[in-house]
Structure 1
Amino acid sequence: MGVVVATLALQLALPGEVAVRPWWLLPSLSALLVGALLLVNPGKMDHFSAVERVISLLVVAAVTLLNAGSAGQLVYGIATGTLTAAAGAVLISGGIVYWTNVVAFSLWYWEFDRGGPGRRALGHHVFPDLQFPQMADPDLADQDWEPSYLDYLYFSFTNAAAFSPTDVLPLRIWAKMTMMLQAAISLVLALMVVAWAINNLK
């Protein structure tokens, strides 16, 4: 959850033209949800709990909603020429929105691969939605190896940077469509911000 909290804190650095108004609402809501999740389960997620599942999904939805609003305002401002922030501020804003997009999708992958961390720990799902290299080759890891959140964060980042699978393969339709959506959003953000920067940096 440290990655989520740090990413939410970055939202406070967004200029007013990009930040979702009121700027404090969604970060505060997300912080409350993270706090509730830690109260429900302050340790390792090694069991399934419906309450934890609901709170976790609310955290993911809040982060996604917050970033979607910021991304929409950033792209709209660039496309219409109404963005008046300094070039450096726009580039930083683009980086924050891009990174938050990576974190948001990593949380969706984390929550839905084989039913989420609780069900993965219990081994309820035999077939994976995402195939990591350690699953394909028993010589690469222990037989009971399970991906951690950082594995999903790395997977999300490489998909956002390469716009395609790298070492992790999507095996289910939901995973393929989610990866396609993430790559499309990342591509639009990168193209818009880079094009604006080329035109405005001096």
Structure 2
Amino acid sequence: MSHTTVPAWRQPTEGESRLAAGSAIVVVIAFQWLLPGKLLPQPAWILPLLEAACLVILMIANPSRLSRAEPWVRGLSLVLAGVITIATIVSTVRLIDTIVAGTADKSASVLLGSGAMIWATNVLAFSLWYWEFDRGGPAARANGIEPEPDFLFPQMQDPQNKLVSKDWRPEYFDYLYLSFTNAASFAPADVLPLSRWCKMMMMAQAIISLALTAMVISRAINILK
């Protein structure tokens, strides 16, 4: 008689810690404080403060493991990711606008620094979206609620567990890597997007990254010349 083995990533688990995702949000807040105020929604302090407040509430609600699928916690997590994404889009548009209008900073180092921080924020923002949406989010993945993946990681195609630990499951850093490769090379590298929503989000992230990179680097080259 044959037996079907359920892979570890489909089985219920104790859930992952919010520490990694929380650290990413702290980095985003730090970048927003360092960016010139004119590149942020006004007043410039409001979004970092709002993001910090949301993060504190989420850390209090889930101080250890993300295993409880509470609607208000997931809703607040999505709101936080949305706020960060909106801030990233606004910063990208404003930076490109200053470059086109000729009012951007005359220092290539400052311009490149601002562009790099916005680009990194773009990576972190979309890593949160991928982490929050894949198979219903971290709590749903921990409880094995959604069996069908939105992203197909190469480890999922190794049913005999010859390449990775038998307990392997996608966690935040896997989605961060996905987000980085998509923003850097405009392709998902070794991770395949399966659902339409993740394909559309990856397209949006690539567009932001491409526009930002092209405009900032070209302007910096002109300044250096």
Provide the residue aligned with 1:35 in structure 2. 56
Question: How far 1:81 sits from its partner (Å)?
Answer: 1.2
* Cα deviation, residue 80, structure 1: 1.7
Contact 1:15 1:89 in 2 (8 A): no
Q: Which amino acid aligns with 1:188?
A: A
Is the contact made by 1:45 and 1:117 (CA closer than 8 Å) also made in structure 2?
A: yes
Residue equivalent to 1:137: 158
Which structure carries more relative contact order (alpha carbon 8 Å, separation 6+)? 2
- After alignment, is 160-169 or 79-88 more displaced? 79-88
CA RMSD of aligned residues (A): 1.3
Q: How far off its partner does 1:141 sit?
A: 2.5
When residues 44 and 119 of structure 1 are mapped into structure 2, their CA distance, relative to the original with a 3 A threshold, is same
What is the alpha-carbon distance in structure 2 between the residues aligned to residue 143 and residue 192 of structure 1?
45
What is the aligned partner in structure 1 of residue 221 from structure 2?
198
Does structure 1 retain, via aligned residues, the 8 Å contact 2:106–2:223? no
Indicate conservation of the 8 Å contact 2:66/2:139, yes or no: yes
Q: Flag the structure with larger Rg.
A: 2
In the alignment, residue 102 of structure 1 is paired with which amino acid?
V
Structure 1 residue aligned with 2:172: 149
- Say if 1:167 and 1:144 are closer, same or farther in 2 by CA, change over 3 A: same
Aligned partner letter, 1:152: Y
Whether the 8 Å contact between 1:15 and 1:85 is mirrored in structure 2 is no
Q: What residue number does 1:104 align with?
A: 125
Across the two proteins, how many residue pairs are aligned to each other? 202
Tell me which amino acid in the other structure corresponds to 2:26.
Answer: V
Query: Using the alignment, how far apart are the partners of 1:85 and 1:52 within structure 2?
Result: 44
Structure 1 length as normaliser, TM-score? 0.95
Residue number in structure 2 paired with 1:175? 198
2:45 pairs with 1:24: yes
| Distance (Å, rounded) in 1 between the aligned partners of 2:106 and 2:36 | 8
Sequence identity (%): 48
Shift of 1:85: 4.7
Q: How does 1:58-97 map to 2 (within 5 A)?
A: 58-97=79-118
- Shift, 1:137, TM fit: 1.2
Q: 1:20 Cα shift? A: 2.6
- Report the equivalent of 1:128: 149
Residue deviations 1:127-157, cap 9 Å, x none?
1000111101132234442111011001100
1:124 deviation in Å? Answer: 1.0
Unaligned runs of 5+ in 1: none
**1:155·1:168 contact (CA, 8 Å) conserved in 2?**
yes
Paired residues of 2:124 and 2:176 also in contact (CA < 8 A): yes
2:189 to 141, 160, 166: 166
Using structure 2 for the length normalisation, give the TM-score: 0.86
